[in-house]
Amino acid sequence: MNFNFHTNHKVLLAAITIGFLTLSLLIAVFPAYRLQENNPALPGAIRLTDVELKGKALYISEGCQACHTQQVRSNVMDQAWGSRPSVPADYANNVRPGVFRNTGSILGSERTGPDLTNIGLRQNNETWHNLHLYNPRSVVEASIMPAYPWLFREVDEVLVGQSEVLLPEGFGPRNGKHVIETTKSRALVAYLKSLKQQELPSYLKVEFDAYDWQSPPVKTQEIEGTLKLNGQKLYSASCEVCHQSNGSGVPNAFPSLKGSPIVNKEDPTELISIVLFGLDRDNEFGAMLAFGPQLSDEKIAAIVSFERSSWNNAAPEVTAEQVRAIRERGMPIDWQK
């Protein structure tokens, strides 16, 4: 048989094919398989439901990954987006939708918008997500994100079983119609709410001990010779997205903190409880996220003290000891109904 590459093109083509397949296996397939085998899903990680998978497909098709990442880096800049740096096991459940279809490049590299790795914990309020998707400026005044009104429907009348998106004045349709949720908007919101970092097992925590996740502006400020948590910075990181930088909230969605009777009560128990345990009972503004699992007693005390002393509010400062006592006492019984 003639093995001369110059005269036998079949042999040349066969050699190229074998070389390509060999390199693909050695460089891509085997390392990826080994990585998948050595990084099982973290304890508590749950595979996406069918609705969440549809939302993920919509997330990719709408190009959300062009501006939003899903990868927290091990530097101070990313501290606000996750409780820790991302690890390979975070993506173990990111399965292929089909044999010949890729998982979709959701990690991203462009940080035009916030990282969404932990958005399900940072913001699990459906009302906020609906407002943000229909018109981002309705909840984030300076947002440069495009609006996605085609994910919703505009109707003349809201029927039984339909969920209306109550928009602040000036952000709804100009024709006076009502905006309602659709299967697309629900799926995308469900996917966004599913993005949550799981707690690392003890054997993985060691490698992150060296990282200082607290940037100096958030960590401390010098007050009369003592170091104290900066409530304003913590408020900006955790609360501003709903209650706004000036504490005015969003009409029909998130209450104003300016002059609020709850914020200005001499006894801060109710306000601390809301921040710690959230608010799921029916009220004109809907549910609020519980920050107790995410924030320490010291941080919650700093945030609450900032709220009680800003925007012409004039209530006494709150201490970490007060927060700790309410945390240990647990959620009030009447709030569990």
User: pLDDT (tens digit, 9 = 90+) per residue, 288-311?
Assistant: 778 887 788 888 898 999 899 888
- Same domain, residue pair 27 and 97: no
- Same domain, residue pair 89 and 185: yes
- Same domain, residue pair 180 and 304: no
- Same domain, residue pair 221 and 168: no
Provide the number of structural domains found in the chain: 3
Q: What is the pLDDT of residue 250?
A: 82
- Same domain, residue pair 266 and 219: yes
Task: Output the CA–CA distances (angstroms, integers) from residue 78 to 52, 112, 147, 175, 200, in the order listed.
Answer: 25, 13, 25, 41, 18
For the segment 269-277, the average pLDDT, to the nearest whole number, is 87
Confidence of residue 182 (pLDDT cuts 50, 70, 90): very high
What is the rounded distance in angstroms from the CA atom of residue 88 to the CA atom of residue 221? 35
Instruction: Please report whether residue 183 resides in a domain.
Output: yes
When comparing pLDDT for 237 and 84, which is higher? Answer: 84
Q: Of 34-38, 62-66, 304-308, 322-326, where does mean pLDDT reach its minimum?
A: 34-38
Instruction: Please report whether residue 202 resides in a domain.
Output: no
Q: Of 146-155, 193-202, 233-242, 265-274, where does mean pLDDT reach its minimum?
A: 233-242
CB contact set of 159 (below 8 Å; sequence gap of 6+): none
Bridge partners, residue 221, by sequence: 228
DSSP 28: I
When comparing pLDDT for 245 and 183, which is higher? Answer: 183
Whether the per-residue pLDDT at 216 is higher than 70: the answer is no
What is the rounded distance in angstroms from the CA atom of residue 288 to the CA atom of residue 277? 9
Give me 243's structure tokens: 């209650």
Give me 43's structure tokens: 């304890």
Q: Of 12-21, 134-143, 218-227, where does mean pLDDT reach its minimum?
A: 218-227
pTM for the structure as a whole: 0.73
Q: What is the pLDDT of residue 210?
A: 45
Instruction: Please report whether residue 170 resides in a domain.
Output: yes
Instruction: Please report whether residue 316 resides in a domain.
Output: yes
| The dihedral formed by the CA atoms of 210, 213, 218 and 222, expressed in degrees to the nearest 10 | -10
- Same domain, residue pair 54 and 174: yes
Q: Which helix (H) or strand (E) holds 279?
A: none
Q: Which domain holds residue 250?
A: 214-336
Q: What is the pLDDT of residue 223?
A: 44
User: What is the pLDDT of the chain when averaged over all its residues?
Assistant: 82
- Same domain, residue pair 231 and 173: no
- Same domain, residue pair 238 and 305: yes
User: Which residue, of 128, 160, 194, is where some domain finishes?
Assistant: 194
What is the rounded distance in angstroms from the CA atom of residue 182 to the CA atom of residue 163? 9
The single-letter code of the amino acid at 187 is A
Instruction: Please report whether residue 206 resides in a domain.
Output: no
- CA angle 140-219-303, nearest 5°? 55
- Same domain, residue pair 58 and 183: yes
- Same domain, residue pair 23 and 135: no
What is the rounded distance in angstroms from the CA atom of residue 154 to the CA atom of residue 173? 8
- Same domain, residue pair 331 and 298: yes
User: Which residue, of 138, 164, 194, is where some domain finishes?
Assistant: 194
Q: How many helices (H) and strands (E) does the chain have?
A: 14, 4
Instruction: Please report whether residue 200 resides in a domain.
Output: no
Instruction: Please report whether residue 209 resides in a domain.
Output: no
Q: Of 102-106, 266-270, 280-284, where does mean pLDDT reach its minimum?
A: 280-284
**Measuring CA to CA, which residue among 49, 80, 126, 140 is closest to residue 286?**
126
Instruction: Please report whether residue 45 resides in a domain.
Output: no
Spatial contact of 327 and 276, defined as CB atoms under 8 Å apart: yes
CATH assignment of the domain containing 170: 1.10.760.10
- Same domain, residue pair 125 and 103: yes
- Three-state SS for 38? helix
